[in-house]
Amino acid sequence: MIKRIALVIQYDGSGYKGWQNQKNFRTIQGTIEEKIAELDPIRPVKVIAAGRTDSGVHASGQVVHFDCTGPIPINKWTSALNGRLPASIKVLEAVEVSIDWHACYSAKYRRYRYSIFNGSYPNLFLQNISWHKYRVRLDIDLMRDALNDLLGLHDFAAFQKAGSNRPNSLTTVQEVSICRDGDIVTAEIQASGFLYGMVRLLMGQLVAVGEKRLSIEDFKFRWRKGLRSEVKEAAPPHGLCLIRVGYGEKIFSKEKSFDTFPSFSLPMFESSKISKDLQD
């Protein structure tokens, strides 16, 4: 009998060519399908994700599903896969769902976090999970004003990369936030769905606002008029993480379905204070 299994997974996307299978490239989907096939080889394996993350993008709360026919109990799938998957991919939980449940189409929202390291000097331990912007101290108030204007149902064609097969560029942004904690700036965006490349293009424009290279008025004009040709800066992928996918019903246990991507707090470097401490 065919069973449908849903997984909540996390992965470091640094060494992968994104989620979706690509010939001659290492992808998250291909790696997971290969390991599932070792455990349940009776039928071709296809793993469907709630969101197709780009090359280099991370996930701490990605949700996927696949169908299987083998005898492996549901409570054994997590350990069985984690014992085979590389260290950069981890399964947090596996549950059986109805055969008509769909990781992508059943989702009510996806939530992404983008992390920016706004310190003056490089940080080795943050370089794979944040965008280092060091030349200008970002103006969070300006960025917040620009971000809040995105709430609601809008056409976000200005933030869609070429190559999308979506019939339109409409989506509903449900929640937005941006904050600073020392040298770390964190933006979170929750929407019913995201266009191809949407968050990275949006963050590129938002950082330009924070650096005062782009006015809020011009920012709004570009996306409201769908001026994709004017949106030329995309934030790098390594600062982006899919942190949560929400459904109408409870699928996974609460503690495992919530965000597990770490939030960092780094104080601003105060050279005068450090010098004084060293002299005392």
Model pLDDT for residues 235-244, shown as the tens digit of each residue: 999 999 999 9
pLDDT at residue 255, as a whole number: 59
What is the rounded average pLDDT of the residues 166-176? 93
Question: Looking at the structure, do residues 147 and 234 belong to the same domain, yes or no?
Answer: yes
Question: Looking at the structure, do residues 118 and 218 belong to the same domain, yes or no?
Answer: yes
Boundary (domain end) residue, out of 58, 89, 105: 105
pLDDT at residue 163, as a whole number: 74
**For this structure, is 54 an active site residue?**
yes
Count structural domains, the chain: 2
Q: Is residue 115 part of a domain?
A: yes
Report the SS3 class of residue 257: helix
Choosing from 54, 141, 149, 218, which is the catalytic residue?
Answer: 54
Is the CB of residue 176 less than 8 Å from the CB of residue 150?
yes
Other beta carbons less than 10 A from residue 97's beta carbon:
17
Q: Is residue 189 part of a domain?
A: yes
C-alpha 127 chain-centroid distance:
16
Range of the domain at 200: 109-242
What is the rounded average pLDDT of the residues 205-232? 95
Q: Is residue 263 part of a domain?
A: no
Question: Looking at the structure, do residues 27 and 120 belong to the same domain, yes or no?
Answer: no
Residues 95, 140: Cα–Cα separation, whole Å: 40
Provide the whole-model pTM: 0.91
Q: Is residue 84 part of a domain?
A: yes
Question: Looking at the structure, do residues 90 and 212 belong to the same domain, yes or no?
Answer: no
What does the H/E/C string look like for 37-74?
Answer: HHHCCCCCCCCEECCCCCCCCEEEEEEEEEEECCCCCH
Q: Is the pLDDT of residue 264 over 80?
A: no
Q: Is residue 76 part of a domain?
A: yes
Could you tell me the pLDDT band of residue 278, with boundaries at 50, 70 and 90?
A: very low
Per the structure block, which two tokens stand in for 114? 């983008």
Residue type, 44: P
Domain of residue 170, CATH code? 3.30.70.660
